[in-house]
Copies of this chain bind each other. A is one copy, B any other.
Amino acid sequence: MDQRISFVTLAVRDVQASREFYVDGLGWKESLHVPDEVLMIQVGAHVVLSLWDRDQFQVEVGPIMSGEGVAPITLAHNVATPGDVDEVLAQARNIGAHPVVPAQERSWGGYTGYFADPDGYRWEVAWNPGPLGEAVLP
């Protein structure tokens, strides 16, 4: 099994709301949209983000953990400068992302903040001055 992620799938309560956020809001281009089922967006050379209806997700994968709190995962969007971090977070706020956690300097040397998508999934917007930070930039 070679080290590759092909799809990142998030269970969502309302595919249309996801579409309004990612496609209409962020301006991302969809690769596939089946209303009330799934929305797929290419987010890397060989990587697709899939927003999949939560009920259908549970039928195939199993019951989802319940309760208050955030999901145990985050997705990061890295940018080339600290200023870019602030710009992307401002854009997220402008299209209604909530909450938006302003960026701050991190102990490891980076500068990152967070915004939530309509289902509360946290996106970290990050400037990472290390070699891995450079490796993830296009």
Contacts and interface: CB of A to CB of B under 8 A. Distances in A.
A74 B135 contact: no
Given A48-B135, A75-B8, A3 B70 contact: no
Nearest to A30: B3
Contacts of A132: 31-32, 40, 48
B66 A69 contact: yes
Number of copies: 2
A44 B137 contact: no
Interface string A10-47: 11000000000000001111011000000011111111
A8 B3 CA distance: 13
A42 B5 CA distance: 9
Given A9-B74, A44-B44, A61-B114, A4 B69 contact: no
A73 B3 contact: no
A124 to B, nearest CB: 7
B26 A3 contact: yes
A103 interface: no
Interface in A104-138: 114, 119, 122, 124-126, 132, 135-138
Given A1-B77, A6-B76, A136 B66 contact: no
B77 A71 contact: no
